Each structure stands twice: as C-alpha cells, then as structure tokens.
Amino acid sequence: MLKVINVVGARPNFMKVAPIMEAMKRRTAEFTPLLVHTGQHYDTSMSAAFFQDLELAEPNVHLEVGSASHARQTAAVMERFEPVVSREQPDWVLVVGDVNSTLACALVSVKLGIKVAHVEAGLRSRDRTMPEEINRLLTDQIADLLLTPSEDAGANLRSEGIPAERISFVGNVMIDSLHKNLERAAASTIREELSLTDKQYAVLTLHRPSNVDDSATFSRIWSALEDIAATLPVVFPIHPRTRKMIKEFGLNTRLAAAQNVRLIEPLGYLDFLSLYSNARLVLTDSGGIQEETTVLGIPCVTLRETTERPITVTLGTNTVVGSDTEKIRQAAIAALGHARKNNFRIPPLWDGHTATRILNALIARGLH
C-alpha cells in the first residue's frame, strides 16, 4: 500500500491530477491518495468550477497561499506544506506541471526524505526568462521518478545527466481528462448561448505576463486579431490578469470597438472544452491547449516565441509565431486556407491511459 500526496496549485494541474486520483481510488488495495491544494490559484469562480467539472473531490488539505510574488508564493507553499508532509509521512509526493507549487512541494519533500514523482517531466522551452522553465529544470533535478509525456522529454532529461532508471515514459495525462470529458462537454450549451456555428469561429486565450504585461506586445497581438476577426469571429474568454492589464493600458475602448471579437467571462472546464473543441482555429499562449488541439486535429497558433511542447509542432497541428503581427496573421491565414497539410499525428501514448501507467510506475518503484 502506497500513501501518496497529490499536489495541485493552479488550474492546469487539476486536469492532470483528476485522472490520477480517480485511478488511485479504483486501486484501493495499492494506494491511499490524499489531495493537497496549495491555493496558488485561489479565486473561487475559476478554481471551484474546475473541481466540479472534473469531478475532483474536495482537497484533504487546502494551504490557501493566494497570490504573491514568485519568491513569496514559493516560500509560503513550502512553509505551509512542510507540516502536512511531516504529519502524513507519505511514501510519495506527486507533483505535476511547472507552477511554483510544483517546485515548492518537491523541495519540501526531498528535504524531508520523502520520494517525489514529477508528472510531465522533461519538457523544455530553452527560455529561462519563463518562471515555468526554472520550475521544470529544478524539479526534474531533485525528483526521484520522472514521468515523461513524450519521447523528446526523456531525451532532454538524459542530456542533462538524469540516470535512465529515474525516467519513465508514460504519456500525456492531460489527454486522459480530454478523452473522459469530451462526451460530457457535448452537453454544454455555451455555443448556443453565444450563437456560434461549429467550425465557424476562432477561440483566443491570452494570459502570460510576456504577452499581457507589455502594452506594445499586447497591441501587436491585438492588431493581428482585428485582422483575423474580419474573416472569422474570435471568442475571447478573458483571464482576470489580462482584463486588469487592459484597463491599466487604457485599451478598453480599442477592444470594445473591435468588430467580431467577443470578450466573455472565464469559463469552467466543460464549457471551455465544448467551445474550443468545436472551433475552426485556436490562438493561445497556453501550454496544455497546444496538446489538446493536437489530439483533436484543430489548427493552433501559439502566441509565444518558444514552446516546451515541440512535439505538437513536429507531429501535431501547432504553429509557434510569437507576438509579431504579420506572423500571427499569416499563420492564421494558412490554417484557415488549409495550406498546412492535414497529416498531423497523435503523439505516442497520448491515448487516455496515462494515469494507469503512472500508477504502475509508482508501484514498480515501490518503497525502494
């Protein structure tokens, strides 16, 4: 019997941990799972909706760290997580992704002599200006078991000197959530509420500081969106951070004047899945959406200079364009005009069974 603390901190973590927790609860003779929510994403309107949509049980422990600078938030998670680990004495602490909570909880566990498993290990953007890249690099150096989503991730780890026995290629657990919830998302009425016709609109997500904290960068992206919207309506569920920066930059009037761009409130998991899975084009600076659109065969234009998920470009439907107005416009035109050949492939082990392989890897390592 393995006692495992599963850590979530931000919304992308929820989609990765939900299928793992579900799989552990099916294997009660082998696993005692606990769920710890650090509260890194703390707003009820967004986080609670994701818990409900993913059928994720209420956390056993909520650390309630809230928002702060990277240093203060990481320190707060460490300070509040340490007594939980000391009290529970788990066999494993399982962390996912690349947020501050991932690194903080891994550090605490290793210092207490508790084994750490990192789900989504080995992803690299090669851009150390991204806080997530630092979290990925450091977590992978200290974790005992590195559970990789793709073959290139394993190659990254080996090139960094990680011993092969610490690496296990299990596939992409985000796709487990996607497969499970596509049918449930079909019951959503969000498209009808927005009077949208399937495959006749684009979806935009935009939240990264590199895009929304600089008015010049945001303006370049928005100029391209105004052009794209002349051809295809763009639906924009706007992140609270993005809305805040738009107001600070005095861009409210410009956004309001944009014809065919619809700003809507953030959506829960199922409504958002329903929205983007029926879109003709997705534009995003998110990581997970690059993966999900690849599996669904939807053209994706990534508004970043780099991606830690290059397999979505080499095998999938993703094009990385940065914030250059013309590059965004041309990538969208190519996608809408079907200039990109429809020969994408789903990467190996992105099959909806990754959670089972993760549990098998934990059992194989056991207490050793």
Helix 174-185 / helix 269-277 crossing angle, nearest 10 deg = 80
Q: What DSSP line would sit under 287-343, residue for residue? A: SHHHHHHHHHT--EEE-SS--S-THHHHTSSEEE-TT-HHHHHHHHHHHHTT-S-S-
Which residue out of 62, 179, 207, 239 is catalytically annotated? 207
Partner residues linked to 147 by β-bridges: 119, 168
User: Is 338 among the residues known to form the active site?
Assistant: no
Calpha distance 216→296 (Å, rounded):
33
Cα 308 to Cα 45, 74, 268, 297, distances in angstroms: 29, 22, 25, 19
Residues 6+ apart with CB under 8 A from 243: none
Q: How many residues does the chain have?
A: 368
Alpha carbon of residue 348 to chain centroid: 19
State the Cα angle at 367 between 361 and 368, rounded to 5°. Answer: 85
Q: Are strands 2-8 and 234-237 parallel, antiparallel or unpaired?
A: unpaired
Cα 112 to Cα 81, 87, 121, distances in angstroms: 11, 11, 21
Calpha distance 132→139 (Å, rounded):
10
Q: Which among 211, 147, 202 has a CA at the least distance from the CA of 364? A: 147
Positions marked catalytic: 207
